[in-house]
Structure 1
């Protein structure tokens, strides 16, 4: 499958030299070509019977309700956004709140995405998601979802899968986060670093120098016991499990690597570019160039396993296998 991917990526670059996103200003025509190529790659591998991954063959009706909680619906403009944590989702959720007018400030809908407080952005009650349809529409919910999926413009944003993992690790385990310390760091430190009596609070743990290492995190992802306990947390769950790209026909595939151009083009396509601007990019973003450093101490066998775990995200969205994995 990887040889096929390399050929596909080469063909994509031949058709559209802007694929890698080096040129700052792409014309609308270039953007359209880019979308055609991204969608072609996705559909090709969804249709390729020799490329398999869990849940690939199921139909939309087979997807349980609780797995549809990442699809945010804006009925005012006919838009569906599948959010992927660690891929600019805070700002895209802000955009969806402004468009759907789902949150009021002193009785008036927000007009500027950046005015919306972060705690409201990630509050599930703020957004209408597909998993809420059952309570609202009962037995008609699936039928209604299918109508909206057919008529509405559907989009998602993706990112190099390993860079996304590094970003998740940095924000959840290198910064003091009480919830993630208790739910994930304590078990990781016990299982993979042989710590026993751990502090109950994250500030005490950090003060004592007790932090999860990137190696601990990778072991946790590869440990078969992890998913037996509960599905991956959304911050490191694979995109194919969050957004079901082989079951849902997305109209627009954005990439974090080309966020500014993709966002501007998408807002034009949605005909909402006069209503708002996409907030400027975050400066402290995890860079793709860091990948080698982060994985330098991770054993080759683990890297190989990790690639298999996230292979569908690499292949479906046209990300080449990392350089230091090429010989795997």
Structure 2
């Protein structure tokens, strides 16, 4: 959970469901004078920031007063998006991290050193294997229910990615920042 300071907002990121937007938003909230609007925040900067978490002394009552929100996405769209973004496009770091085990575990007679061509089926098999064996897990393909635990956390708001524009506006209104930050150009 990422704390949105001064607004009692808690955001639970689910990768491939608008997390870059929300991390840019939180970055902008924490660093109000660095950029004029969210889309000026470089992606690498938004992703590398150490975002605040609720303090260890926070009680359930304190946290229950927060506007807690998360976004979800159709799981098939989400895993396909992870495949395209991390394996299909040229991305050597993720080829090593996802392509290599996808090929080594699920392709017969392969002796390659570069793992740039893992198929979507191999990647899905790897992600399923990782989940079932609790090994090599990654937030890009872990289940949203494991990342954000919605059955235990009493979320104020759970949005679906396909309705992103409406839901981002709703969440922003409730954490009272849409009045102070430019979202677009």
Aligned to 1:73, the other structure's residue is in SS state strand
In the alignment, is residue 74 of structure 1 matched against residue 23 of structure 2?
no
| 1:86 matched residue in structure 2 | 16
Deviations 1:284-306, CA, capped at 9 Å, x for gaps: xxxxxxxxxxxxxxxxxxxxxxx
In the alignment, is residue 238 of structure 1 matched against residue 143 of structure 2?
yes
* In structure 2, distance between residues paired with 1:94 and 1:154: 18
State how 1:160-175 maps to structure 2 within 5 Å.
Answer: 160-175=74-89
* In structure 2, distance between residues paired with 1:174 and 1:189: 13
* In structure 2, distance between residues paired with 1:91 and 1:225: 26
| 1:122 matched residue in structure 2 | 47
* TM-score, normalised with respect to structure 2: 0.88
* TM-score, normalised with respect to structure 1: 0.52
Say whether the 8 Å CA contact 1:186–1:198 is kept in structure 2: no
Seen in structure 2, the aligned counterparts of structure 1 residues 189 and 247 have a Cα distance that, compared at 3 Å, is same
Deviation at 1:194, TM superposition (A): 2.0
CA RMSD of aligned residues (A): 2.3
Deviations 1:207-262, CA, capped at 9 Å, x for gaps: xxxx11111112213337863433x2100000011111111111111111111111
| 1:273 matched residue in structure 2 | 178
State how 1:1-328 maps to structure 2 within 5 Å.
Answer: 71-99=1-29, 101=30, 103=31, 108-125=33-50, 127-130=51-54, 133=55, 141=56, 143-144=57-58, 146-200=60-114, 206=116, 211-223=117-129, 227-230=133-136, 232-279=137-184
The alignment of Structure 1 onto Structure 2 pairs a total of residues equal to 185
Deviations 1:94-149, CA, capped at 9 Å, x for gaps: 111122x2x47xxx343411111111111142x1135xx5xxxxxxx1x4153442
Seen in structure 2, the aligned counterparts of structure 1 residues 195 and 119 have a Cα distance that, compared at 3 Å, is farther
| 1:297 matched residue in structure 2 | none
Deviations 1:4-53, CA, capped at 9 Å, x for gaps: xxxxxxxxxxxxxxxxxxxxxxxxxxxxxxxxxxxxxxxxxxxxxxxxxx
Say whether the 8 Å CA contact 2:102–2:123 is kept in structure 1: yes
| 1:287 matched residue in structure 2 | none
Deviations 1:68-111, CA, capped at 9 Å, x for gaps: xxx10022221111111100110111111122x2x47xxx3434
Say whether the 8 Å CA contact 1:188–1:217 is kept in structure 2: yes
Runs (5+) with no aligned partner, structure 1: 1-70, 134-140, 281-328
* In structure 2, distance between residues paired with 1:212 and 1:255: 29
* In structure 1, distance between residues paired with 2:176 and 2:97: 42
Deviations 1:263-285, CA, capped at 9 Å, x for gaps: 122222222221124459xxxxx
